[in-house]
């Protein structure tokens, strides 16, 4: 996945299909199931003190927010190939950096939109301080970025390879 601006998100076909599948589930079976839960809770009586009803309505709200988020993401997505294996850091790449030049203190992450976050690998957005600092650099290059506490972190790019989903 590659993000080139705030309005266009580049997705691999695999990522697009995964998100489309999630949307289809949320607007089909999952929507039917939450409606069933709300109706069952409604039948229990007084809605003011009905925790099951309130929990189901909250779940419905979160689900519908995710539906809107996915619809917008898929509406603006451009589907294309994974980035080139040219060692240049860009969205869609698995990046290895060493902190302060210490080859033993490394971080490996996927540079991608949070939509593509996975339990398999840490994901950093291209808009994050680290993402901005390393974007466009190559293996061997140095970069600096400001951390949330105001201090400056220095990293050396060790490697950048296209992400391959498991």
Task: Give me the domains of the chain, ranges plus CATH numbers.
Answer: 2-79 (1.10.287.180), 93-162 (3.10.50.30)
Higher pLDDT, residue 15 or 27: 27
Give every CB contact of residue 38 below 8 A, 6+ residues apart in sequence. Answer: 53, 56, 57, 60
pTM over 0.85: no
Look at phi and psi of residue 45 and say left if phi exceeds 0, alpha if psi is from -120 to 50, else beta: left
| Per-residue pLDDT reduced to its tens digit, 101-153 | 677 889 999 888 766 666 778 888 888 899 999 999 999 999 999 988 999 99
| Per-residue pLDDT reduced to its tens digit, 43-95 | 887 777 888 888 999 999 999 999 998 998 888 777 766 677 888 998 888 99
pLDDT band per the 50, 70, 90 thresholds, residue 156: very high
What letters, b where the CB count within 10 A reaches 16 and e where it falls short, cover 107-134?
eebbbbbebbeeeeeebbbbebbbbebb
DSSP letters of 30-89? HHHHHHHHHHHHHTTS-STT-HHHHHHHHHHHHHHHHHHHHHHHHHHEEE-PPPPSSSB-
């Amino acid at each position: 996945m590659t993000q080139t601006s705030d309005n266009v998100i580049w997705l691999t076909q695999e990522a697009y299909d995964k998100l489309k599948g999630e949307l289809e589930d949320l607007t089909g079976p999952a929507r039917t199931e939450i409606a069933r839960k709300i109706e069952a809770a409604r039948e229990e009586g007084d809605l003011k003190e009905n925790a099951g009803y309130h929990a189901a309505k909250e779940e419905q709200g979160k689900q519908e927010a995710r539906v809107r988020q996915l619809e917008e993401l898929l509406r603006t997505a451009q589907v294309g190939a994974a980035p080139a294996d040219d060692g240049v850091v860009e969205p869609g790449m698995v990046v290895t950096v060493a902190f302060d030049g210490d080859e033993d203190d490394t971080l490996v992450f996927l540079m991608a939109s949070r939509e593509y976050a996975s339990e398999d690998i840490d994901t950093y957005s291209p808009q994050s301080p680290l993402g901005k600092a390393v974007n466009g650099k190559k293996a061997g290059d140095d970069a600096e970025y400001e951390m949330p506490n105001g201090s400056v972190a220095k990293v050396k790019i060790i490697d950048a390879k296209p992400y391959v989903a498991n």
